[in-house]
Structure 1
Amino acid sequence: MAQEILERVKAIDYKQTELHRALLICQKTVNDNGNLSYALKNAISNVCLQAMEMSREMVNMRTSFNEFQTQLNSTEQLSLKNSIEIQGIPYRQDESILGIVVNVCRVLEVKIGESNIDYAYRVTNNGPADPSRPAPIVVRFVRSLTAERLVKAKRLKGNISTDALGLPNCPTSLFYINFRLTAINRKIFSRAWLLKKRGIIKHVWTTHGKIFARRGDNTDRVRIRNIHDLESLHKD
């Protein structure tokens, strides 16, 4: 009987030892899983931090690129200080562009000869010609002061039609003179003009190739240097 009890005690002791060993294994597994979970959390956190840093770098790079593009556009616009566009003069076969320019100067009472003109040409349309919107005439003068005098004279004279030019077989239409804009500034001005037509801004105009706008009659004028300036004006 005592021997049987002793055997049973040994069996229980063995089971307790095995159970203890199993508990130790479980504890180690839990610890290992905990370490793995901690490592995964750290890895995910690091990836998130790197993604945020890359996002900040992208924003900084985009800002730097926009600033560079704006500066480049300003430099290009400055190079056009001698150039103007005459808009609204209908196209005629065998027309003399230099003759038209000199004639326009005569009507505006600005004394300019062909020697004051570096070059002049009519812009070529990529698509089909629209008689109601003739391609503009681009003129580059030898001196920027000449361009300024012509733009100022047209502003003071107000509306003038092509009848004043005495061009034969030329439909009657108003013509306009402005400083020539860069491709980017033409795009900006076109968008600004659409905002004006939609009533979002009240005034938009150009001065010496610079674009300005006003939200209302009593608001300050805002210089529009790029599309982002225009979008900010739209959102304000």
Structure 2
Amino acid sequence: MVKCSACGRFLSPTGAATCTLCPGLYHRACVGIPETGRSPKQWKCPECIAKKPKVGNVNTPVKGAEPSNTESEGSPAEKSEIVEKDIISESALDTSQSSDLSLELRLFREEIRQLRTEIQDFCAELCDVRGAIAVCNQRMDEFDSRLINLEKEVKVSSSRCAEVDKLEETVAQLREDLNARDQDLLQGDIEITNLPEVNGENPHHTIMVVAAKLGVDLDEKDIIFAERVGKKNDSSSQMEGGTRGRRVVVRLARPNLRESFLRSARTRRGITTEGLGFDLPARRFYVNERLTKKNKQLFYLVRETAKRLQWRYTWTKRGKIYARQGEGKPAHQIKSETDVDRVFGEVQVG
């Protein structure tokens, strides 16, 4: 709210008298401008007019002598008329000032009412913002708790994975140890394959005949046991020229006899069943170390891989599997399928 530069009371900018030289605003009644009329276009306030420098004017008439007291006093009727006019002008001035004050109060109340409305709207918006912030804080707390739980689960799962990996390594090591122990129990055994099988045969006699053909000095007391193993009369046992027969497993009493048996078989590679007393066409038979089921599968994989990659030598010695690419090349011991990929893979990469 602005104030009148003359009386110092509040006034409304609309309808106020505005000076063209200064920013001052005035009530129309304070500067003698009618309320309903228009303000002059180049109107100047009394202060700006008073500040305007005065210039000499020779045409200004000189005032005469002051009239005597008798002449200036006038008649009593005139004096009473003048007093009445002054009272009427003062009452009109008071009426106009009170009307201006009521207008100013109404405008001021309207502005206060609008300000209250704005403040109420602002408070409502502030409450909404506080509610939204509270919801966000709650969701952030939920996210924090979920993140903490997830971190705990990840730690537990990682520890469990580490424990599982350790257990798997332990199980693999135990299996390898059991397989090595089982192979040690077969140190005195040999295995003969592709010998014909006839009804009512004596495996001990068959082994004695095979030993004589290989040139091994073997006594019947040196054989702890000799027997056919495997499923009898399966579809895989039929071949051209008669029955191939199941494998013959022999356990010898002395380790040197086993080594002699295997050495003689390697020396006479390509030996056949001719002269062994079978009424069937001659065929090759094979004498090898007896391996555990796991080592037998691994040896088969090694032989097939060596054949595919044109490696010349694969053999077993005391239950251990070896492979060599050729003459002058190093021998590689293979204990697992991982070693197969490592040994033969390095050669392929190289």
**What's the TM-score, normalizing by structure 2?**
0.61
- The one-character-per-residue Cα deviations of 1:148-172 (angstroms, maximum 9, x if unpaired) are 221122223333211143x140320
The 1:107–1:216 alpha-carbon spacing in structure 2 relative to 1, beyond 3 Å, is closer
Q: Are 2:292 and 1:182 aligned? A: yes
SS of equivalent residue, structure 2 residue 258: helix
Tell me the CA shift for residue 17 of structure 1.
Answer: 2.2
Query: Which of 186, 204, 224 is equivalent to 1:80?
Result: 186
- 1:11 corresponds to: 117
Query: Which of 229, 234, 257 is equivalent to 1:146?
Result: 257
- 1:131 corresponds to: 239
Q: Are 2:131 and 1:25 aligned? A: yes
The 1:232–1:61 alpha-carbon spacing in structure 2 relative to 1, beyond 3 Å, is farther
After TM superposition, the structure 1 = structure 2 runs for residues 203-214 of structure 1, keeping only pairs within 5 Å, are: 203-214=313-324
The 1:215–1:60 alpha-carbon spacing in structure 2 relative to 1, beyond 3 Å, is farther
Q: Contact between 1:214 and 1:221, CA under 8 Å: does it hold in 2?
A: yes
- 2:48 corresponds to: none
Tell me the CA shift for residue 18 of structure 1.
Answer: 2.3
- 1:227 corresponds to: 337
Tell me the CA shift for residue 6 of structure 1.
Answer: 2.9
Tell me the CA shift for residue 217 of structure 1.
Answer: 4.7
Q: Contact between 1:82 and 1:145, CA under 8 Å: does it hold in 2?
A: no
Query: Which of 211, 229, 243 is equivalent to 1:105?
Result: 211
**Inter-partner Cα distance in structure 2 for 1:168 and 1:21:** 107
**1:75 partner letter:** R
Tell me the CA shift for residue 215 of structure 1.
Answer: 4.5
- 1:170 corresponds to: 280
**Inter-partner Cα distance in structure 1 for 2:344 and 2:230:** 33
- 2:36 corresponds to: none
Q: Which moved more, 1:27-36 or 1:81-90?
A: 27-36
Tell me the CA shift for residue 201 of structure 1.
Answer: 4.5
What stretches of structure 2 of length at least 5 have no aligned partner?
1-105
SS of equivalent residue, structure 1 residue 204: strand
Tell me the CA shift for residue 137 of structure 1.
Answer: 0.8
**Inter-partner Cα distance in structure 2 for 1:56 and 1:235:** 29
Query: Which of 158, 178, 181 is equivalent to 2:269?
Result: 158
SS of equivalent residue, structure 2 residue 274: helix
- 1:196 corresponds to: 306
Q: Contact between 2:196 and 2:278, CA under 8 Å: does it hold in 1?
A: no
The 1:145–1:51 alpha-carbon spacing in structure 2 relative to 1, beyond 3 Å, is same
- The one-character-per-residue Cα deviations of 1:197-235 (angstroms, maximum 9, x if unpaired) are 322654321112211123455542221222332233344
**2:259 partner letter:** E
- 1:69 corresponds to: 175
The 1:36–1:218 alpha-carbon spacing in structure 2 relative to 1, beyond 3 Å, is farther
Q: Which has the higher contact order (CA 8 A, sep 6+)?
A: 1
Q: Contact between 1:120 and 1:139, CA under 8 Å: does it hold in 2?
A: yes
SS of equivalent residue, structure 1 residue 158: coil
Q: Contact between 1:92 and 1:170, CA under 8 Å: does it hold in 2?
A: no
**1:34 partner letter:** M
Q: Contact between 1:108 and 1:150, CA under 8 Å: does it hold in 2?
A: yes
